Homo-oligomer: A and B are copies of this chain.
């Protein structure tokens, strides 16, 4: 998507033809300077330090990390794959991308590996961008229908499920970008998404940079806006969707789904096939929820009026904090799922109809 009129992806090959560019997302939205990665160790550091985040993007950066390694020493394939896999051991896309590289490169002589690794990294990035583009196409009719009826569309989203979390387009934001680019009058309510503020920092930055009208709100405000008819549709991303359609996503998603149901607002979830976890049925009972550092609640980082980046404590001294990072929205509250294959109900039957190979 665009920043000041120039199209970007969240990872790309530099004009030199071999080094890799990313945005340091730990500095967004305050600094928008593409970092240049020149070694696989720099790629590993970028993943580990969350300079890049979002499962699809992590996979693509890891794949480029393999390409950088093959350029340096094509004999070092196995230790590099192992080291990159260890940067974020729980991210499923990371392993999947490295497995793709392994399958291609193992059968090649060392001299042929660098070129093949670059080609495969590019293919992984292109595949992700295409998957997200299709999610956008499949979500677009939902927004077009509202716009045709009301003249404009008010979308509420939570956290960041935009192009910065993928390679391009994003998941929840893909239909929004597409609608905006087609000239629909779209306005997005952006939940700030405490405690890590991915909405206020990343989603607001993305939408602003691409020119999509939006307004940041406290996470507390969505229910009130829905009560007063200010939200036509909710679209969020997800970290895991179970066999029966329960949706794990950033903490607070469940509260918005409850408000949507109470006010008759459609609640949609956008995802690629890789987010489906058919081994799990009851999301609330079965999905373990990561408890993250209390400091994410007690402290906030931002920019002072004179441009310094400062971290301040916002909780009374001595008071402890808890920080569950995700919650689960039961399928009964989900209007439907938007995937790269089309839309479907949040149910096992509907998911298996769309993805019969997952039975």
Residues of A within 8 A of B (CB): 28-30, 189-190, 192-195, 197, 200-202, 204-205, 207-208, 214-225, 227-228, 250-252, 254-256, 258-259, 262, 284, 289, 297-305, 309-324, 326-328
Contacts and interface: CB of A to CB of B under 8 A. Distances in A.
A220 B217 contact: no
A314 B219 contact: no
Contact of A219 (B250, B252, B284, B316): B252
Contacts of A258: 223, 255, 258-259, 262
Contacts of A305: 311, 313
A222 B324 CA distance: 10
A265 to B, nearest CB: 13
Given A252-B220, A305-B311, A327-B223, A319 B193 contact: no
Given A255-B259, A258-B258, A304-B311, A316 B29 contact: yes
A250 B252 CA distance: 17
9 contacts: A215-B322, A218-B297, A219-B219, A220-B327, A221-B324, A223-B327, A224-B327, A299-B302, A303-B313
Of the listed residues A259, A262, A298, A301, the one surrounded by the most CB atoms of chain B closer than 10 A to its CB is: A262
A194 B218 CA distance: 6
Contact of A319 (B195, B216, B326): B216
Contacts of A304: 310-313
A200 B316 contact: yes
A219 B218 contact: yes
Of the listed residues A189, A259, A322, the one surrounded by the most CB atoms of chain B closer than 10 A to its CB is: A322
Contacts of A201: 314-316
The 8 tightest CB contacts between A and B, nearest first, are A220-B252, A302-B312, A29-B316, A224-B327, A204-B319, A205-B316, A204-B316, A258-B258
Nearest to A29: B316
Given A194-B192, A319-B208, A321-B216, A301 B312 contact: yes
Given A194-B219, A204-B315, 8 more contacts: A192-B315, A216-B321, A219-B220, A221-B322, A224-B254, A228-B284, A255-B258, A312-B312
